Amino acid sequence: MPKAKSSSPDPDSLAKLRHSCAHVMAQAVQEIFPGTKITIGPAIENGFYYDFDSEHHFTVEDLAKIEKRMRQIAEGNHEFKGAEVTKEESQKYWKARKEPYKLEILEGLEPPITHYTHDTFTDLCRGGHCENTREIRHFKLLSVAGAYWRGDEKNPMLQRIYGTAFHSKEELEEYLHQLEEAKKRDHRKLGTELDLFSIQEEAGPGLIFWHPKGGLVRRMIEDWLRDQLAKRGYDFVFTPHVMRLDLWETSGHTNFYAQNMFSPIEIEKVKYQLKPMNCPGHILIYKNRLRSYRDLPLRFAELGTVYRYERSGVVHGLLRVRGFTQDDAHIFCRPDQIEDEVAGCVDFAKETLKTFGFEKFEIELSTWDPAHPENYTGKPEQWEKAESALVNTLNKMGIPYRRMQGEAAFYGPKIDIKLVDAIRRSWQLSTVQFDFNLPTRFELEYVGEDGRRHQPLMVHRALLGSVERFFGILIEHYAGAFPLWLAPVQVRIMSLTSEQEGYAQDIRKKLSAAGFRADLDVRSEKVGFKVREATLEKIPYMVVVGAKEAAAGTVSLRSRSGQSTNDLSLQEVVQRLKSEVPASPLLSPPLPSSPAGRRRAGGGQAAGGQDPRSEVGDSKL
């Protein structure tokens, strides 16, 4: 979803506007659909929502009716009035109105308890509203989704209506334009159309099947990454997908991360765990022998597949899955090396994202919340030292950042690098995490220059986050039109008639020998039809050859944007293509030969089921 922006100088005013809009929506829904029960309606990052329990099944058509009534209410210029009430008064009020969800919420509240009223509608609410409904002018209801009450699948399924609101018409129109653009770029839709990946019902939700084209792009991403890792002094390791449960108890994952782990597997009366992370495996490799201070830093890298439990209602294409591959690395170092290692990780992350076409970044420093030490491990002084190391590194590098209190991992603070894509959405990808916890839990040591045993520090580092999620973001960033170096098929050679098939075959061989992925379309179809198909498949270039070109030893070159150049020699075509490939990524090996008359790059539907678009629950994607 695009990140909503407001020009208002008051950072809280947009949240107040949206929360007020949620109240007005709830009033409209109850008026149009009598008997509907209300629950909660908060402002969220990109708008607001309200959850309803109604016998009526809300449709997209209903949204227009609700919007119309909301505008009528807003024009009434009703003041939002707050009133403090006793718990008993509130209980009596909601019992009289037969609102069971409000009564349940009320049970967990302590005084002061407030009701907010506008027009004929009252809600149990802490406040944060506009002065009156007339301020609610620029809003739009967006969608309907299912949501379990309080996010628990054991509770009733409710209907959630999403909307957004802004202070100006221009801001609303810009946001709605971004939403439309996001729909066009939906990686699930493009993944099917371009035959990149699928999600198979027979296998289960959240599990990705990479098709040949998607697999080729993945291989190029991973090959580039492996090349860079080697240059930066990382050692490649491989660890098992399943390990004893005891290991995860030692690491603390069973205490702090159990809700994200699959149930253990029992083998010969011993419990094993599908790994949700790679770090304990890397620790065991470190611990396999005693290390010297001269060995450090040690940088272990692994493209390791991990498994995390996600409810089927919240899995979302490539962006939220149950099995995925992390481009994971763990650095074991001395205290005097920590800031340099963190700086190296941040630099590596920025270079990686820029290589794949992302130029804008947002940096966040996630710290612990001292008010809730039960959510973390370690002592306060350890947290202070760890956070200071990250702050010092960012300051030395001259990188501005935003502090996010309470967002740290349970074992240490972290730097999160968010990229901004082509339609200005921000995505969390790269992370650099300081860890003083696991070296203590696993009693890691190295022999220092003084001959004594010391405990190393540890850095967790991921650049892409997960290969699956990164690929999904990459698809949406480029709207499926990958740059030349990443495109699964870079050039399609088309013949006007069967008489040019031999010439087309020869061109393909020469392009392949030059390192380009080229395929053939020598079917007896009109060239306009072939061009349209190749354009829909987002192939960067098309080479068209007819009798004239075959006789002259030339070609016509057409780009997917529609630009054409005639009478080019093949050498000129090769030079033009090479000029578009950046210096760092390597050209991948060519596609294998395909039989004459068959296209290598196929369109059509991806095999198997698609990821369902319905969303259940309120988890962020």
- The per-residue pLDDT for 620 is 26
What is the rounded end-to-end Cα distance, in angstroms, of the chain? 9
C-alpha 117/C-alpha 20 separation (Å) is 10
- The per-residue pLDDT for 410 is 79
- The per-residue pLDDT for 11 is 60
**Are the C-beta atoms of 268 and 298 separated by less than 8 Å?**
no
C-alpha 241/C-alpha 198 separation (Å) is 23
Please name the helix (run of DSSP H) or strand (run of DSSP E) that holds residue 324, with its range, or none: strand 323-333
**Are the C-beta atoms of 136 and 20 separated by less than 8 Å?**
yes
- The per-residue pLDDT for 224 is 95
C-alpha 308/C-alpha 257 separation (Å) is 10
C-alpha 103/C-alpha 200 separation (Å) is 42
Q: What is the mean pLDDT of residues 189-218?
A: 96
C-alpha 347/C-alpha 350 separation (Å) is 5
Q: What is the mean pLDDT of residues 518-543?
A: 95
pLDDT by residue (tens digit) across 39-72? Answer: 999 999 889 999 999 999 999 999 999 999 999 9
Long-range pairs, 202-210, Cβ under 8 A, ≥24:
202/608, 204/322, 205/312, 205/315, 205/322, 205/611, 205/612, 206/310, 206/312, 206/315, 206/320, 206/321, 206/322, 206/323, 207/321, 207/322, 207/323, 208/318, 208/321, 208/323, 208/324, 208/468, 209/608
Distances in Å between the alpha carbon of 503 and those of 335, 511, 541, 547, 551?
64, 12, 18, 10, 10
Q: Hey, do 196-241+282-478 and 481-610 end up sharing a CATH topology, with the first three levels equal?
A: no
Instruction: Give the SS3 label for residue 444.
Output: coil
- The per-residue pLDDT for 594 is 37
- The per-residue pLDDT for 412 is 84
**Could you tell me which residues come within 8 angstroms of residue 92 by beta carbon, excluding any fewer than 6 positions away?**
none
C-alpha 114/C-alpha 177 separation (Å) is 38
**Are the C-beta atoms of 113 and 124 separated by less than 8 Å?**
yes
**Which superfamily does 13-184 belong to?**
Threonyl-trna Synthetase; Chain A, domain 2 (3.30.980.10)
C-alpha 406/C-alpha 33 separation (Å) is 40
Cis status of the peptide bond prior to 585, with omega within 30 of 0: no
pLDDT by residue (tens digit) across 372-422? Answer: 888 888 888 888 888 888 999 999 999 999 999 888 877 788 999 999 888
Q: What are the extents of the domains in the chain? A: 13-184, 196-241+282-478, 481-610
**Cβ–Cβ contacts within 10 Å for residue 345, how many?**
26
Instruction: Give the SS3 label for residue 150.
Output: helix
> Closest Cα to residue 540, out of 183, 212, 194?
194
Distances in Å between the alpha carbon of 365 and those of 73, 158, 425, 450, 515?
43, 36, 19, 35, 42
CATH of span 481-610: 3.40.50.800
- Which letter does DSSP use for residue 7 in this model? -
**Are the C-beta atoms of 156 and 53 separated by less than 8 Å?**
yes
C-alpha 568/C-alpha 552 separation (Å) is 10
Instruction: Give the SS3 label for residue 604.
Output: coil
- The per-residue pLDDT for 27 is 98
pLDDT by residue (tens digit) across 444-490? Answer: 999 999 999 999 999 999 999 899 999 999 999 999 999 999 999 99
**Are the C-beta atoms of 366 and 416 separated by less than 8 Å?**
yes
**Are the C-beta atoms of 360 and 419 separated by less than 8 Å?**
yes
Distances in Å between the alpha carbon of 7 and those of 13, 18, 169, 170, 426?
10, 15, 12, 10, 18
**Residue 312's pLDDT band (boundaries 50, 70, 90)?**
confident
C-alpha 559/C-alpha 492 separation (Å) is 10
Residue 237, exposed/middle/buried by CB under 10 A (0-12, 13-18, 19+)? middle
Using the predicted structure, report yes or no on whether residue 298 has a pLDDT greater than 60.
Answer: yes
- The per-residue pLDDT for 605 is 30
Report, as residue numbers or ranges, the catalytic residues: 279, 308, 326, 328, 330, 414, 460
**Residue 619's pLDDT band (boundaries 50, 70, 90)?**
very low
What mean pLDDT is reported for the chain?
A: 89
Q: Which residue has the tokens 């005891």?
A: 246
- The per-residue pLDDT for 585 is 53
Q: What is the mean pLDDT of residues 262-284?
A: 94
User: Amino acid identity, residue 460?
Assistant: H
Using the predicted structure, report yes or no on whether residue 596 has a pLDDT greater than 90.
Answer: no
Please name the helix (run of DSSP H) or strand (run of DSSP E) that holds residue 66, with its range, or none: helix 60-75
- The per-residue pLDDT for 336 is 93
Q: What is the CA radius of gyration of the chain?
A: 29
C-alpha 538/C-alpha 214 separation (Å) is 14
- The per-residue pLDDT for 348 is 95
CATH of span 196-241+282-478: 3.30.930.10
- The per-residue pLDDT for 538 is 97
* Paired tokens of 47: 């708008």
**Residue 94's pLDDT band (boundaries 50, 70, 90)?**
very high
**Residue 97's pLDDT band (boundaries 50, 70, 90)?**
very high
pLDDT by residue (tens digit) across 413-426? Answer: 899 999 988 888 88
- Percent of the chain residues topping a pLDDT of 70: 92
C-alpha 284/C-alpha 1 separation (Å) is 40
Tell me the helix, strand and coil percentages in the chain, rounded to 5: 35, 25, 40
Give 140's strand partners: 164
* Paired tokens of 245: 């449960």
Q: What is the mean pLDDT of residues 268-274?
A: 95
pLDDT by residue (tens digit) across 564-577? Answer: 999 999 999 999 99
Q: What is the mean pLDDT of residues 528-547?
A: 96
